[in-house]
Amino acid sequence: MSRSAFAASFKNQVGTAPLECLIAWRMSLARDALRRGTRSISEFAFATGYESESAFSTAFRRVVGSSPRQFRDTAHRAAKLPGTACRRRAESRTP
C-alpha cells in the first residue's frame, strides 16, 4: 500500500489524517508529562519524538495555545491550590 493510499484509508476510517493523529497523541503525552514532571522542555521534546526544542515548542503552542513552559508553570501552580489533589484523585476514579 502506498503512503498516500494509507493516508487516505486512515483518514476515511479514523476521521483525521495520520500526522494530525500523531501530533495529537504526542501533545497528549507532553501535557501529561509536563503536569507531572520536572524534566527540561528539551527532554520532553526528544521524548515525544521531536528533534529540537524549537519544533516541539512551536507544535505545542499551535495545539495547546501556550508554550510548554507556560503550561507547566500553570499546571504546577494549580496543583498547589488547596483541594486540588483530592479533586484530581476523584476525577481519576470517575469512569
The pLDDT tens digits of the residues spanning 28-84 come to 999 999 998 878 899 989 988 899 999 999 999 999 999 999 999 998 888 777 665
Taking the chain, what is the end-to-end CA distance rounded to the nearest angstrom? 39
- CATH of region 3-93, choose from 2.60.120.560, 1.10.3720.10, 3.40.50.970, 1.10.10.60: 1.10.10.60
Amino acid at 91: E
* pLDDT value of residue 42: 92
Cβ-proximal residues to 31 (8 Å cutoff; 6+ apart), any chain = 64, 71
Query: Does the structure show a pLDDT above 60 at 4?
Result: yes
Which grid cell sits at 86?
483530592
The predicted model scores a pTM of: 0.71
* pLDDT value of residue 44: 87
Domain ranges for the chain, please list them. Answer: 3-93
* pLDDT value of residue 93: 56
Torsion of CA 79, 46, 17, 4, to 10 degrees: -170
